[in-house]
Chain A
Amino acid sequence: AQRVTQPEKLLSVFKGAPVELKCNYSYSGSPELFWYVQYSRQRLQLLLRHISRESIKGFTADLNKGETSFHLKKPFAQEEDSAMYYCALSGRDFNKFYFGSGTKLNVKP
């Protein structure tokens, strides 16, 4: 069965420190992986998707099929990065999106 796991409910780092939000998935087909972000009092919005292979707001994520992971990374965290981050999985052979339980990132000054 398809599943997305985000092991950390809360991640606190200091401003300027590197940050990595972990995401592991289970799916035997060709996955499409996404990171969505929800800032305080704002809507859930797409941050990045693996097929774009781009950096958004300094964040990157690499799909590692061998480790079935799609960790989100940023070398120097900023206070404005504080938000709730969700990893999501979709695939070529089903309509649904599977979301992880989310990780709350708190960047301290």
Chain B
Amino acid sequence: GAGVSQSPSNKVTEKGKDVELRCDPISGHTALYWYRQSLGQGLEFLIYFQGNSAPDKSGLPSDRFSAERTGGSVSTLTIQRTQQEDSAVYLCASSFSREWGHTDTQYFGPGTRLTVL
């Protein structure tokens, strides 16, 4: 079946504009993660969705960042009033489950490269 897909693959925007990044997880995967990968940095956890539970938003760097997951499937990461430091590759990953005490393999999407001018 299809893997995790993300769109757009590249996004160039001007400082101050809002952007939306989309993630389509693997069908049936209940857990969905967003990460940010900056040049020379590791993967920075942003947010985690599991089923119908409240998302873990503890990694969001500021209130300009938000994410939602509709119908337990597609997720959108929104960055408002973008800044140059938001430039990075945004990765989405999904897994079958992430119950307490049990970790499933994460499957990553190809990422969206965001450039803020």
- B61 close to chain A: CB less than 8 A: no
B106 adjacent to A43 (CB under 8 Å): no
Contacting residues, chain A, for B41 (C-beta < 8 A): 101
Q: A92-B100, A93-B100 are in contact. Are A44 and B59 (CB under 8 A)?
A: no
Q: Please, which residue of chain A has its CB at the minimum distance from the CB of B56? A: A95
Q: In the complex, how many residues of chain B place their beta carbon closer than 8 angstroms to a beta carbon of chain A?
A: 27
Q: Please, which residue of chain B has its CB at the minimum distance from the CB of A100? A: B42
Contacting residues, chain B, for A101 (C-beta < 8 A): 40-42
User: Size class of A's contact patch?
Assistant: 20 to 34
A23 to chain B, nearest CB (A): 11
Describe B's contact surface by its main secondary structure: loop
Measured between alpha carbons, how far is A4 from B59 in the docked complex, in Å? Answer: 16
Q: Which A71-108 residues have C-beta < 8 A from chain B?
A: 86, 88, 90, 92-93, 95-102
Q: A4-B42, A96-B48, A99-B43 are in contact. Are A43 and B59 (CB under 8 A)?
A: no
28 contacts between A and B (CB under 8 A): A6-B42, A9-B40, A43-B109, A43-B110, A43-B111, A44-B91, A45-B107, A45-B108, A46-B105, A49-B103, A86-B43, A92-B100, A92-B101, A93-B100, A95-B48, A95-B98, A96-B56, A96-B58, A96-B59, A97-B33, A97-B43, A97-B106, A98-B45, A99-B35, A99-B42, A99-B43, A100-B42, A101-B42
